[in-house]
Amino acid sequence: MYFEIDSLVRNNQEISMWKSELHRFAEEVLRPASFELDRMDAKATGAKDSPYFEVIRKGKKNGYHRLLIPDEYGGTMIGPLEFNIWCEELGWGSVGLATSIIEGLFPAAAASIIGSPQVIDEVVRPWMEDEGDKYDGCWTVMDPDRGSDYIMSFNDPDPASFGTEGFLKADRDGDGWVLNGVKSYWTGCAPVATWALAHPMLPPHEGPHQLGAAVVPLNLPGVTQSPPIDKVGMRDHPQGELIFENVKIPNHYMIAQAPEFGTILARLIISLTSCHMGGAFIGLARAAFEEALKYCNERVQGKALIVEHQLTRYRLYNMFEKIETARAFLRAVTRNVFEEVFQNRTFNPSVAHALAAQTYSKNIAFEVAHDALQLHGGAGILKEMPIEKFFRDARPGLIMDGTSEILALEAAADMLDEELYTVD
């Protein structure tokens, strides 16, 4: 653990208890399962008897699937600080499993924010009542031929120039909708989910800015879920492809069907996910830092513990500085996002700040994991050392949810357009 500089946490017994309980869960449940899943064959990680589902069940038993759902639907709506702590502690246990647990509730959470009473009855309430693994969600955005450049369309003056080919598309089908297309093989939780929060392009299909949002049961005819892909890191977070062939959904499952609001919806989602991704990766950075600190206090080189070496101390300090800065920034950003989205329902968070917090957190997670491995020397590349896994887990962060570079460009556009800084 670490000295908590934030007195809002340190002096609040309830929040401190929340933090220590989450840490215990991360240490006792996530960490061991994460290492076991990391060594497993990728396809086996998504099987029903995999430790993955044991984690999901235990998370639900703790009520994690009810967080971010408004109290009126039986949820336990937490505040921004509790949310940050939740993401960071779970991320400390495993950034992959933290991502799975949090993304798993996206379909229900989105339906609870913008869905009709009917979809709340059919999707949100059953989700709330499930304490096993009957339901699990995934969030699917990217299309196979579209990478992070897709995100750039949101701020582009001519989004139609991004084309329409290769996107999951929704068309009217009587009173409902029909979905056709593919969502990329890097869709988190796709191989194991029962529901997807899917973003299709809405009619008249002029460009990616006409973004919709649908809650799609994945047992519908026409849906194919691929097995988990084999990858370098975050192997405990099953990612795979979703194929939609004439998948019919009722009208109320298309929870966002106003194409003119697509860009606003996208920016809202990206702000929320920035808070979650940022928190989980700060947790990973902290985990890597703690491994390095432990190793530096055990390893003797040149007749002294390496923690006594000046260069080591400088390196450890730099890691500490990055983690503390990222956490403080992300907490401020999350407060803004929660106020705008959940508290005031004004839906106007500062996207530039949210993206900055996300990219900063993910970038420093990789840098800290890299430095932590470096401090381990040759031991750092041994498969038996936790730092080896943390380093691999940090790498996908620079790509997932948009590459750091693209997210930064998007944040730059927003920062300038919104005139967050002006010259007097």
Q: Which is nearer to other proteins, 171 or 308 (CB)?
A: 171
Report the DSSP pairing between strands 300-301 and 304-305. antiparallel
Could you tell me which stretch among 144-152, 242-250, 291-299, 346-354 binds other proteins (CB under 8 A)? Answer: 346-354
Report the DSSP pairing between strands 195-198 and 213-217. antiparallel
Does position 350 bind other proteins by CB under 8 A?
no
Question: What residues contact residue 387 under an 8 Å CB cut-off, 6+ apart?
Answer: 288, 291, 292, 295, 369, 372, 373, 376, 380
Residues 95 and 98: their CA atoms lie apart, in Å, by 5
Could you tell me which stretch among 10-18, 288-296, 316-324, 339-347 binds other proteins (CB under 8 A)? Answer: 339-347
Q: Which is nearer to other proteins, 349 or 386 (CB)?
A: 349
Does position 347 bind other proteins by CB under 8 A?
yes
Q: Which is nearer to other proteins, 107 or 240 (CB)?
A: 107
Residue from the set 8, 17, 258, 420 that interacts with other proteins by CB under 8 A: 258
Residue from the set 63, 344, 377, 420 that interacts with other proteins by CB under 8 A: 344
Does position 353 bind other proteins by CB under 8 A?
no
Does position 424 bind other proteins by CB under 8 A?
no
Does position 255 bind other proteins by CB under 8 A?
yes
Residue from the set 115, 191, 238, 396 that interacts with other proteins by CB under 8 A: 115
Residue from the set 24, 61, 345, 405 that interacts with other proteins by CB under 8 A: 345
Residues 184 and 179: their CA atoms lie apart, in Å, by 15
Alpha helices in 209-350 (DSSP H): 262-296, 310-338
**Residues in the chain, overall count:** 424
Residue from the set 346, 384, 421, 422 that interacts with other proteins by CB under 8 A: 346
Draw the binding track, 200-229, toward other proteins (x: CB under 8 A; -: no contact).
-------------x----------------
CA distances from 362 to 172, 210, 313, 395, 404 (A): 39, 29, 23, 9, 8
Nearest to 185 by CA among 242, 101, 236, 247: 242
How many C-beta atoms surround the C-beta of residue 321 within 10 A?
A: 11
Residue from the set 33, 77, 182, 254 that interacts with other proteins by CB under 8 A: 254
| # residues contacting other proteins (CB under 8 A) | 22
CA distances from 407 to 313, 351, 357, 362 (A): 32, 10, 10, 11
Residues 111 and 121: their CA atoms lie apart, in Å, by 10
Residue from the set 256, 269, 285, 292 that interacts with other proteins by CB under 8 A: 256
Considering the complex, what minimum distance in angstroms separates the CB of residue 263 from other proteins? 8
Residue from the set 11, 20, 116, 224 that interacts with other proteins by CB under 8 A: 116
Residues 31 and 24: their CA atoms lie apart, in Å, by 10
Binding residues (CB under 8 A) for other proteins: these are 113-117, 213, 251-252, 254-258, 260-261, 264-265, 344-348
